[in-house]
Chain A
């Protein structure tokens, strides 16, 4: 039994211009100690998927259906006060921007303590001790003195460490990290990814990592879900996505990476993602897909398993030979460009 099992998740928002279907029929599961990466361009619904699971969408004008079963409870139907006990204790979240997700007027010691005391009755000193342990665990130097510092006294990388400390302080079973390293430099990114891997080993948490950087996915993910225009278009383990990719959109994402071009021309995906207010008929990717044919413009491709019977799913009308050829081309790029 998976730790989190999401089935047929749909989220839509009512806006003045009509209904925006932000997540459309997404299913996945995350096991203990594993990392699931959700990949896609901005606006594809990857963040909304996680906000829906956490119950953080605005209550008004949001329509949600499907289920998200976490430890035998469906999070989508859980009452508010029950959900509040889950958030921050059993499931916690790290956000992209460490500059804006900490409260600037409280010391980080106080903010960490608050995270503990919200979920556990504990005297201040004990909570402080827990905060100190956690700050040490995420590798902030001179931890004792830094608890009394305010967020502005920390650098970007250190602030992200504080966020991680806060997220892990109640030893959650599931950590959702929404673009945790996008705002950071490569060296800091390497530090943070290293830290997350190490903490995952130590605490055994499951991680959902939202990112648009396939390099980060290659470094950390066990399972990968590729989203495009609110739909899951391909999912499988990391080998399926990098070495046996079957969807033209996944090929496009990989071909856009400068590293894999090796000096040759980049092959970007033309155009931009469609509006979710009025998504195109048929396959949502057909307007940008160089392989599209008549059927793609009318029929929505279902998410189907690969013929080898594995858990590798893709939603594309292309025939088996075309998919094979495409994935071999990408494999060439990865083996040549993805050397040390």
Chain B
């Protein structure tokens, strides 16, 4: 069995909503991440998908300790990093890096590419200035940029090239885990494919582990070994990549999959799309019971709005949190078959 690199247990991040100027009173909480557990093995990629506002980025930031979780545990390489501070945190941060979504906003426009990529080396006091310059140039080469562009500024590069700089920066201190928060969603398809190929190749070459967050299900399928689907601060289904796409169990996963456009016109036009009604509810007052119940085509009164479903292991290697998981796939109608209505859980 492969070694576990990251383990998240019941992670929770609630943001307080307060009112008052001098005497601040908490009047509610945004439950951005509300009890998320998973583990990632060394050298594998965990894909996280979900709609905007489901808490995927907050979760990533909690893992990076850019935000302090309000509950639960983050265990990295056998060490509980949930509450560590100061020097210990600095040490852990040498092993953890992040690639951000927006290649335009995530690079300091006033710094040269060399110092952007080399900054982490300086912060962690690794190597001499001369060694670091060589390292940065090596990194530029690794990510497919010209090492002579060391002294250029970010605005001299295109979106795809900037994302390559972002990847080089993440690689600089040879981290074990890289959290990629929507690294390709701002890019054109052709450039997106280049970056995905680069990330895969780097994973092979440097034995990297990725937590890969995206809203594009096709992208996540392409790069991930395991996939977790998030909805409103919770994981509703996790599965090995292929199983999730070929045999989804949670109705939300099913609806997400059927909403992805298929680049094959005859197939795309022949199928009947399952269109989810409404928007994701507010995480301030999440719905009772199963959080998906107000939008779920299989909603059963008295069950789904009362009892919160647990993540239960299924035969396909997936785990889904649903009282009435999907019987088969593909389905053109997600509604519960008549013989199962009222049959209980």
A272 to B190, CA, bound (A): 9
Q: Does B4 contact A (CB under 8 A)?
A: no
Chain A interface residues toward B at CB < 8 A: 41-42, 141, 155-158, 185-191, 193-194, 212-219, 221, 238-239, 242, 252-261, 263, 265-270, 272, 334-335, 337-340
Interface residues of B in 132-189 (CB under 8 A from A): 158-161, 188-189
Residue from B196, B221, B258, B260 within 8 A of A215 (CB atoms) = B260
Let me know if B106 is at the binding interface, CB within 8 A: no
Instruction: Give B200-217 as 1s and 0s: 1 = Cβ < 8 Å from A's Cβ atoms.
Output: 000000000000000111
Contact B222 A194 (CB under 8 A): no
Which of chain A's residues have a CB closer than 8 A to the CB of B279?
155, 157-158, 188
Which chain B residues lie closer than 8 Å to A186 at the CB level?
51, 215-217, 256, 259-260
Could you tell me if B193 and A258 are in contact, using CB atoms closer than 8 angstroms? yes
Which positions 267-321 of chain B face chain A at CB distance < 8 Å? Answer: 267-269, 271, 273, 275-276, 278-279
Given contacts A186-B256, A272-B158, A272-B160, are A41 and B263 in contact (CB under 8 A)? no
Q: Would A265 and B197 count as touching, CB distance under 8 A? A: yes
Q: A185-B51, A194-B275, A256-B193 are in contact. Are A216 and B265 (CB under 8 A)?
A: no
Interface centre among A186, A215, A337 (most CB of B within 10 A): A186
4 more CB-based (< 8 A) A-B contacts, given A259-B221, A340-B271: A187-B255, A239-B265, A242-B265, A268-B191
Given that A187-B276, A266-B193 are known contacts, is A219 also in contact with B188, CB under 8 Å in the complex?
A: no
- Residue B108 CB within 8 A of the other chain: no
Nearest-Cβ distance from residue B71 to partner chain A, whole angstroms: 27
**7 tightest A-B CB contacts, nearest first:** A338-B264, A215-B261, A268-B193, A258-B222, A256-B193, A190-B259, A269-B190
CA gap between A214 and B268 in the complex, in Å: 12
The distance in angstroms between the C-alpha atoms of A218 and B262, with both chains bound, is: 7
Whether A215 pairs with B222 at a CB distance below 8 angstroms is no
Q: Are B190 and A268 closer than 8 Å at their CB atoms?
A: yes
Chain B residues in 8 Å Cβ range of A193: 261
B330 interface residue (CB < 8 Å to A): yes
Tell me if B83 is interfacial: C-beta within 8 Å of chain A. Answer: no
Contact B188 A41 (CB under 8 A): yes
Q: Decide: B267 and A256 in contact? CB cutoff 8 A.
A: no
Question: In whole angstroms, what is the CA distance A253 to B216 when docked?
Answer: 17
